[in-house]
Amino acid sequence: MKITVIGTGYVGLVSGVCFAEFGFNVVCVDNNAAKIAELQNGDVPIYEPGLDKLMLKNSRAGRLTFSVDAKESVKKADIVFIAVGTPSKPDGSADLSYVYKSVDEISSFINEEAVLVIKSTVPVGTTRSVKRFLLDKGVNVDVAFNPEFLKEGAAVEDFMHPDRVILGIESKKAKKILSHVYRPLYVFNTPIVFTDLETAELSKYASNAFLAMKVTFINEMANLCESCGADVNEVAIAMGLDKRIGDKFLQAGPGYGGSCFPKDTSALVDFADKLGVDLPLTKETIKSNNRRRMKMVEKILLACDNDVKGKNISILGVTFKANTDDMRDSPSIDIVNSLIERGANIKIYDPSFSDQARRIFDKVEFSANAYDNCNGADVVIILTDWSEFRALNLGELNGRVKNSLLIDLRNIYTLSEVNASGFSYCSVGRTFKKLESRKDVRE
Ligand SMILES: NC(=O)c1ccc[n+]([C@@H]2O[C@H](COP(=O)([O-])OP(=O)(O)OC[C@H]3O[C@@H](n4cnc5c(N)ncnc54)[C@H](O)[C@@H]3O)[C@@H](O)[C@H]2O)c1
């Protein structure tokens, strides 16, 4: 089985590497020559745990290669996956230009015996329209839609052990080839669901919108907790123990971000609107999540006596979640920029050493570790729940800061442990009380 994957971003690269790990011959293609050169050198251009080792192993085994030129591999491929980006257009709809451009580019080489699989997240009807687009060019190839549900930060694990694989198909050939591709997962009893193209396409958007709503719901409960004295972490535990609800995506925080939830919720609303179907829950989720970031700025300001001008703020973590270098639509962008606008002096430490972050915050100083980042700080703010922030030596940190105030927008500590180290602790959905004599406690 020969596989070509077009697009070597977070999804394409992980998929290509994992398909090679399944034992197939895989060529990963990207039109970004610098990225391909890096990959050919054995360097992984993104931060994704476990990906480097698996990539090296499969490259050495000769099953995995990288190319800027799709022609040779597409000609011989039994299956071609399209995994290019589908970002938001300014009006919120999905920009499908990368999908059509990549399909167009391979249309003259693709073997009609092959199956073309769209893995990019696309609005309902796109895969069928890609089929028509190809037919108009005189190319009759079977198409399928295979949404990807991996999470950045755990992408390899998710790909190798998914909760389910959804396959939108309309031919026996597509069913046969895709069954073969995902056969290695049968050993884990992974549910493999075959359905039609439209259902598979909507399953992806519906899943992301539901998870976005879950995050937004617990954030609303966090607001309520702050006013009524309940603890949102414990409310989330109590809710999550109910198997009908589940404990995932119930962590209160600065709101969702990343390359998927914001754009997918907007695209879902857009294509539903075009069909004349109102989605008020999804619309309110988007609005509530957008408000969330400014709410976090207000929280920070309140904890800082409404004045951050000239204050040294140590930011710990800026990526949209832990274990990734991805900054796309990260809540930190709005929060940090807002603090900069109000005159704060910002220093950032992020364990991914994200190049994207350095480009976004190009005038901000970055540190090599969390402790150095806190030297002389008036406020320490945790924005991303990287594991290494869970075990900070708060006593040592307190020895470095100018003022002992820890604002934790990910709720990774408890009030008692932080207070015991001399810090005042402001978190999300939990009571905040400034310590009277923080320095005394520390000394
Ligand atoms: N990132 C995630 O966590 C995630 C999870 C599930 C689904 N998805 C979906 O998967 C798709 C890809 O997302 P991503 O995050 O991997 O995107 P990405 O931006 O990281 O990667 C896209 C890659 O495609 C390449 N590309 C664009 N046009 C090309 C062309 N014509 N030929 C060859 N290469 C081309 C780009 O250079 C880039 O490397 C999107 O539709 C996204 O919604 C993403």
Task: Give the distance (Å) from ligand 1 centre to CA of residue 117.
Answer: 14
- Spatial distance between the Cα atoms of 16 and 117, rounded to a whole number of angstroms: 13
Is 301's pLDDT higher than 60? Answer: yes
Q: Considering only CA atoms, which residue is closest to atom 41 of ligand 1? A: 120
Does residue 121's CB lie within 6 angstroms of at least one atom of ligand 1? yes
Mean of the per-residue pLDDT values of the chain: 96
Is 329's pLDDT higher than 90? Answer: yes
Across the range 386-415, mean pLDDT stands at: 96
Task: Give the distance (Å) from ligand 1 centre to CA of residue 186.
Answer: 27
Query: Which pLDDT does position 439 carry in this prediction?
Result: 46
Closest CA to 271 of 256, 261, 282, 260: 282
In tens, the pLDDT along 10-53 reads 999 999 999 999 999 999 999 999 999 999 999 999 999 999 99
How much is the CA Rg of the chain, to the nearest whole Å? 24
Across the range 400-420, mean pLDDT stands at: 95
Is 253's pLDDT higher than 50? Answer: yes
Is 432's pLDDT higher than 90? Answer: no
- Burial group, residue 139, by CB count within 10 angstroms (0-12, 13-18, 19+): middle
Task: Give the distance (Å) from ligand 1 centre to CA of residue 377.
Answer: 38
The residue assigned the tokens 């806190």 is 374
Is 440's pLDDT higher than 70? Answer: no
Task: Give the distance (Å) from ligand 1 centre to CA of residue 12.
Answer: 6
Query: Which pLDDT does position 436 carry in this prediction?
Result: 60
Does residue 329's CB lie within 6 angstroms of at least one atom of ligand 1? no
> Which residues make Cβ contacts (< 8 Å) with residue 134, sequence separation at least 6?
103, 107, 116, 140, 141, 143
Is 443's pLDDT higher than 70? Answer: no
Does residue 101's CB lie within 6 angstroms of at least one atom of ligand 1? yes
Is 407's pLDDT higher than 60? Answer: yes
Is 103's pLDDT higher than 70? Answer: yes
Mutate to test the pocket of ligand 1, among 39, 93, 148, 207 (most ligand atoms within 8 A of CB): 148
What is the share, in percent, of the chain residues with pLDDT greater than 70? 98
- Burial group, residue 145, by CB count within 10 angstroms (0-12, 13-18, 19+): buried
Does residue 6's CB lie within 6 angstroms of at least one atom of ligand 1? yes
Q: Which atom of ligand 1 lies at the shortest distance from residue 102's CA?
A: 31
Query: Which pLDDT does position 441 carry in this prediction?
Result: 41
What 3-state class would DSSP assign to 314? strand
In tens, the pLDDT along 44-84 reads 999 999 999 999 999 999 999 999 999 999 999 999 999 99
Decide if 426 is catalytic: no
Task: Give the distance (Å) from ligand 1 centre to CA of residue 191.
Answer: 25
Q: Which atom of ligand 1 lies at the shortest distance from residue 122's CA?
A: 41
Does residue 282's CB lie within 6 angstroms of at least one atom of ligand 1? no
Query: Which pLDDT does position 437 carry in this prediction?
Result: 46
Across the range 119-135, mean pLDDT stands at: 98
> Which residues make Cβ contacts (< 8 Å) with residue 278, sequence separation at least 6?
272
Out of 28, 260, 374, 426, the active site residue is: 260
In contact, 175 and 159? CB cutoff 8 Å? no
Task: Give the distance (Å) from ligand 1 centre to CA of residue 34.
Answer: 16
Query: Which pLDDT does position 187 carry in this prediction?
Result: 87
For residue 167, give both structure tokens: 């396959």
Q: Which atom of ligand 1 lies at the shortest distance from residue 35's CA?
A: 39
First CA to last CA across the chain, in angstroms?
66
For residue 77, give both structure tokens: 């491929």
- Spatial distance between the Cα atoms of 48 and 383, rounded to a whole number of angstroms: 19
Is 311's pLDDT higher than 70? Answer: yes
Confidence of residue 435 (pLDDT cuts 50, 70, 90): confident
Q: Which atom of ligand 1 lies at the shortest distance from residue 105's CA?
A: 31
- Spatial distance between the Cα atoms of 284 and 292, rounded to a whole number of angstroms: 12
Does residue 10's CB lie within 6 angstroms of at least one atom of ligand 1? yes
Is 438's pLDDT higher than 70? Answer: no
Of the two residues 442 and 179, the one the predictor is more confident about is 179
How much is the pTM?
A: 0.95
Domains and CATH numbers, the chain: 2-195 (3.40.50.720), 197-443 (3.40.50.720)
Q: Which of 89-98, 160-169, 270-279, 411-420 has the lowest mean pLDDT?
A: 411-420
In tens, the pLDDT along 156-198 reads 999 999 999 999 999 999 999 999 999 999 988 999 999 999 9
In tens, the pLDDT along 227-243 reads 999 999 999 999 999 99
